Amino acid sequence: MKERRQYLFIDFEFTMPERNIRTKDFFAEIIEVGIVAVVDNEVKEQFSSFVSPRKYPKLSERCKSFLHISQLQVDKGLSIYELVKKLEEFNKSHYETTIVTWGNMDMKVLRHNCLEAGIAFPFNNGKELDLSMEYKRFFGDQNQTGLWKAVQEYGKEGTGRHHRALDDALTTYNIFKLVEKDKRYLEKPEPTTIGDRIDFSKLLNEFA
């Protein structure tokens, strides 16, 4: 029996320090998660939640202003332990799973947050795809393109609001579909034979 294929489109929002203020040992922590689970090209589930930072629970003013996330929202959010348990539930063993993110920061921060909390990384048996690098390679761009700039280059608009985790996860999924469609379109057709390129009946008529 063929193994079913699952893509998990994931986006996290992170804490950030105040500008020009050095905080000793500061590291980015996940404060919002958005997940779109797609199985056999069909959206099966969407999930969104705020997450409470463990090491530095108080958000900086810069973080609240930039992400439009309040202290109360993250205070009521999942713990890192609950978040990882939820991610493990999505990473079902009976699916061949690929985790898709825009950029490599999401998985880097998740790995570091797991390490700091002393818990196992939930995607050890899943493939990871950085769609921004795929997009860069496909279009031959010199620089990595931002998520919403990429979707606008396709003549589309992002879903919902930028820097909201579920909206960005949905936008990542939409770009993935557009890139996959373009890749199929550009796949090389069967090489033509000389008979396909030249109409011999017309050629013979010219010399008759």
Give the catalytic positions in this structure. Answer: 13, 163
Q: What is the DSSP string of 162-175?
A: TT-HHHHHHHHHHH
Q: Write down the residue that tokens 């900086």 correspond to.
A: 60
Element (H, E) at 185: helix 165-186
Q: Are 74 and 56 in contact (CB under 8 A)?
A: no
DSSP class per residue in 24-83: TT----EEEEEEEEEETTEEEEEEEEEB--SS--SPPHHHHHHHT--HHHHHTSB-HHHH
Q: HSE on the CB side for 138, CA within 13 Å?
A: 20
Cβ atoms 36, 131 nearer than 8 A:
no
Tell me the residue type at 64.
K
